[in-house]
Structure 1
Amino acid sequence: AAVRGAANPVAGPYFNLSSPEPTGVVAVIAPADPLLGLVSVVAPVIVTGNTCVVVASERSPLASITLAEVLATSDLPGGVVNVLTGHQAELAPWLAAHMDVNGLDLTGVEDADLALSCEQAAAENLKRVLRPSRQDWTADPGTGRMTRFLETKTVWHPVGV
């Protein structure tokens, strides 16, 4: 709220506040980079209050599975991070079309046709979709990844009534 929230100036006898809220459930396709890529896509989703369903990297799923075990025995509430193992081509379209998934991070999808079909399936129920180009995991991420899966709630209050 300190970064994305605001008191908005309005012309009239109102006080207007905007504050960010979590989108909900975000499906994440993990990149091939075993641990750094995984943490770089999962952490921004959960730190903003969302929950995530992660499709582990096909080439190196061991890091995802190990992180899932660590999270299961940590102080993180159950169900915040859910890890699926399998083929991206089978799991990603189901997550993209699922009506209870509110956001989709296609960072780990390398097949352009699969990414396009996932975007089209996600458009059926107005999901927020992140499809970045090449990602440098050692660069400063900024706040863009965190704020991508936030929605803004605006409240109007009358003043002087």
Structure 2
Amino acid sequence: MRAAGTAWRRTLPETSAPARLSVRKTYKLFVGGAFPRSESGRTQLVDGDNVALASRKDARDAVGAARKVQPAWAGATAYNRGQVLYRVAEMLQGRRAEFVALGVPAAEVDAAVDRWVWYAGWADKIAQVHGGANPVAGPFFNLSAPEPTGVVAVIAPASFLGLVSVIAPAVVTGNTVVVVATTPQAAITLGEVLATSDVPGGVVNVLTGRPAEIAPWLASHDDVNALDLTGVDDPELAADLERAAAGSLKRVIRPTTTPLDFTGDPGLRPMTALLETKTVWHPKGF
């Protein structure tokens, strides 16, 4: 018996806390501002990570998302697009360590941040350089103004700076893009940056998978206006994609130099290659 006023005290055996399992990340697609899995349910293992393997249906969904938002993005003021791109640079700078942990060299991440800032500065200036008033014989104003091509399908190069260097010039000029990325972890993490950077959903769409499987559907898609083959290393595949693009009169961009070097001044060509020029005549009057 226990004495009056004393409480029962039970001694429990000591147990160690179970080891915590970290959450394993699956790198999904980035389409329409969301992160869906591939509709096929397929994945591939890349450096120990599960990565979505995009399908033809995913490519169609990405083109649909890009087409839906393209008029509004093109209709935004150049100043606004520049502010959005600068915000991307801010957010990318804040996640610098994460990209370095993914294996992107720190200097390359810094160069990518600077590249976003560089293109942000061109947003409200490219029209002044690439357009203007033309001298004509007659009592008319003749004005040329650049306009975006529309939806651009991009086969991205393997480097992170290369990825940024093909996306930024397309979107700063009012185009929307569907990117086939061969460096999936960095590309989808960039999608996470874009999703938190005031970039409207659908302006940039990232598909991870095999270019030889996905790119032909983008090259032949009637709602894609231009095809950027910068990241295609196989000359035979590049030729096949060009032939497929010819069926819908797409503009095709091919690298002008090899090997590719994205560290220098990109110049205006990456932007002007994805612009159309509209010329307007208007009588002056007397």
Matched, 1:117 2:240: yes
d(CA) in 2 for partners of 1:37 and 1:104?
A: 16
d(CA) in 2 for partners of 1:140 and 1:65?
A: 26
Match of 2:119 in 1: none
d(CA) in 1 for partners of 2:263 and 2:193?
A: 23
Equivalent AA in structure 1 for residue 235 of structure 2: A
2:208 pairs, out of 63, 85, 89, with: 85
Match of 2:141 in 1: 15
Matched, 1:130 2:253: yes
d(CA) in 2 for partners of 1:3 and 1:41?
A: 20
Deviations 1:127-158 (A, max 9, x none): 11101142211111101101100000000001
d(CA) in 2 for partners of 1:113 and 1:145?
A: 24
Deviation at 1:54, TM superposition (A): 0.2
Residues 1-12 of structure 1 aligned to structure 2 (within 5 Å): 1-12=127-138
Corresponding residue SS for 1:70: helix
d(CA) in 1 for partners of 2:171 and 2:217?
A: 21
Matched, 1:30 2:156: yes
Corresponding residue SS for 1:10: coil
d(CA) in 2 for partners of 1:3 and 1:64?
A: 31
TM-score normalised by L of structure 2: 0.54
d(CA) in 2 for partners of 1:3 and 1:90?
A: 39
Matched, 1:73 2:196: yes
Deviations 1:65-117 (A, max 9, x none): 10011111221111000000110001111101000000110000001011001
d(CA) in 1 for partners of 2:194 and 2:164?
A: 12
Deviation at 1:32, TM superposition (A): 1.2
d(CA) in 2 for partners of 1:3 and 1:95?
A: 31
d(CA) in 2 for partners of 1:106 and 1:158?
A: 42
Q: Computing the radius of gyration over CA atoms, which structure comes out larger, 1 or 2?
A: 2
More divergent stretch after superposition (36-45 vs 132-141): 132-141
Residues 24-63 of structure 1 aligned to structure 2 (within 5 Å): 24-33=150-159, 35-57=160-182, 60-63=183-186
Equivalent AA in structure 2 for residue 21 of structure 1: E
Corresponding residue SS for 2:129: coil
Higher share of residues assigned strand: 1
Equivalent AA in structure 1 for residue 269 of structure 2: G
Equivalent AA in structure 2 for residue 101 of structure 1: V
d(CA) in 1 for partners of 2:238 and 2:225?
A: 17
d(CA) in 1 for partners of 2:129 and 2:176?
A: 21
d(CA) in 2 for partners of 1:68 and 1:56?
A: 11
Regions of 4+ moved over 4 Å: none
Deviation at 1:25, TM superposition (A): 0.4
Please, which runs of 5 or more residues in structure 2 have no aligned partner?
1-126
Higher share of residues assigned helix: 2
Corresponding residue SS for 1:62: helix
Higher RCO (Cα < 8 Å, 6 or more apart): 1
Deviation at 1:49, TM superposition (A): 0.7
How many percent identity over aligned positions? 72
Equivalent AA in structure 2 for residue 158 of structure 1: P
Deviation at 1:24, TM superposition (A): 0.5
TM-score normalised by L of structure 1: 0.95
Equivalent AA in structure 2 for residue 74 of structure 1: S
d(CA) in 2 for partners of 1:7 and 1:73?
A: 39
